[in-house]
Amino acid sequence: MPQKYFWLLLLLLGCKKEKETAETETVFVDQGVSRFADTDPTNDVLLQAFWWDSFSDAKIANYNSYYHFLEDQIVPLSNAHIDLLWFPPSSEGEGMGYHPRKLFDFNSQHGSTEELKEVLALLQSRQMHAMADLVLNHRVGTATWTDFTEPAWSCEAICIDDEGYTNPDAFGTKPCGAADEGESWGGARDLNHQSTEVQEGIKAYLQRLKNLGFDAWRYDFVKGFPAKYVATYNQSTSYYQSVGEYWDGNVTALKNWIDKTKTTHENQTTESAAAFDFSLKYKLHEALLGKKYSVLEANHSLASQGYAKKSITFIDNHDTGCINRTDCDNLFSQNPVELTKAYAYLLTHPGIPMIWGYHYWFSERSGSLKKDLEELIKIRKENRIHAGSTVTLIETVDGNAGHYVAKIDDRLLVKIGAGNYQAGSDWSVIKSGEGFTIWNK
């Protein structure tokens, strides 16, 4: 081959390789603060940024700590227009932190205090928000069942009907507080929220969390103590968002709890907390996996009951998702197709939708679920769908060939399910996948 043709061939091959590289590689570009960032939590998309034993999961073994892993995700999450991140319990305690030991010590299994501060500072720089997980129903002692440190509390801090008093194997100071006002928790000492010592200690704890950079509250196991104390603690600080884990599939029970968070234990009125919509979670399971789409008609969710702005909608979380644990049987689905359909519903409907971080990062290896979620978030934001958006039900058909069809704010038309539905000529398909279609005008 003549030399000039040889070099021409090399040039052509090089151009082809560059073209193939450009087509197969996606170059990450930091888009800066999300153009949808604002100060209204009813416009938010929430991401639960952890899963069970995420701090020790082999999936993040390349990072020094969970906080380092999370710090690496903040800019991409900002690019994806995520507004609010729910963190695991940040105080020192057993394992994940759901048995807190030293409330005022923020060196935990998830990482150091300094690492936590760095993540929170980065979030603030992106005009994003951080939700602290508040485990206020119970604590564990430092050396014994009942010796609380950081802060140190007396025997009055523990309910007198706690196992620390009634169990002959218990050791340490005997509880001497009032009787438990809610459901008991056998794994730790139930706190007496009637105690001024406990109330003031928790208020100081919230202020320390705010000083770190948190501005939102998630109350764990709120069936363990009366809702009036959630109102009291909320009233003690300014905050961006507040939500309670009232684990109950009965939508009336959820509404009643929300209403009770309006009144403090001193009968003062304050803004009510939101609640995770367990009712909708279970209805979506029945509708999408059981092909009974008619359950998504009237009265199936907080939003359908007039509580849309107080509804955090979700599919699974660290408790129900059955990751790294054996005591869990509430999984929505392991099938990415079913998960995508469920999120297509959440991210186009009223309430404040929550994406579970495990679904976002790890449930589908090729990244297609993550891509679908980001496209659905963008559709929600660009079409100005928010917690208080209006749903007009078009039709539901049960069965394998059935579907659910609804109009949202006269901006989106959404079909979930395999059934055939023909939209009018004024609607255009903007996203579709296996078992769902979304149109806008």
Domain holding 247: CATH number? 3.20.20.80
Q: What is the pLDDT of residue 14?
A: 52
Residue 73 lies in a domain: yes
Structure-token pair, residue 69: 């892993």
Residue 374 lies in a domain: yes
Q: What is the pLDDT of residue 25?
A: 54
Which of 137, 255, 237 has the alpha carbon at shortest distance from 190? 137
CA distances from 318 to 163, 168, 335, 366 (A): 27, 33, 17, 22
Q: What is the pLDDT of residue 330?
A: 87
The DSSP secondary-structure symbol of 142 reads S
Residue 425 lies in a domain: no
The Cα–Cα gap between 90 and 94 comes to: 11
Domain containing 259: what range? 37-388
Q: What is the pLDDT of residue 26?
A: 66
Q: What is the pLDDT of residue 18?
A: 45
Residue 427 lies in a domain: no
Q: Residues in the chain with pLDDT < 70?
A: 1-26
Which of 262, 263, 244, 264 has the alpha carbon at shortest distance from 254? 244
Residue 55 lies in a domain: yes
CB 311 within 8 A of CB 280: yes
Residue 62 lies in a domain: yes
Residue 354 lies in a domain: yes
Structure-token pair, residue 121: 């500072």
34: amino acid identity, one letter: S
Phi and psi at residue 363, to the nearest 5° = -70, -20
* Per-residue pLDDT tens digits for 207-235: 999 999 999 999 999 999 999 999 999 99
The Cα–Cα gap between 365 and 284 comes to: 24
Which strand ranges, in their side-by-side order, compose the sheet holding 436-440?
391-397, 403-408, 412-416, 436-440, 428-433
* Per-residue pLDDT tens digits for 335-377: 999 999 999 999 999 999 999 999 999 999 999 999 999 999 9
Residue 196 lies in a domain: yes
How many domains does one find in the chain? 1
Q: What is the pLDDT of residue 431?
A: 98
CB 386 within 8 A of CB 43: yes
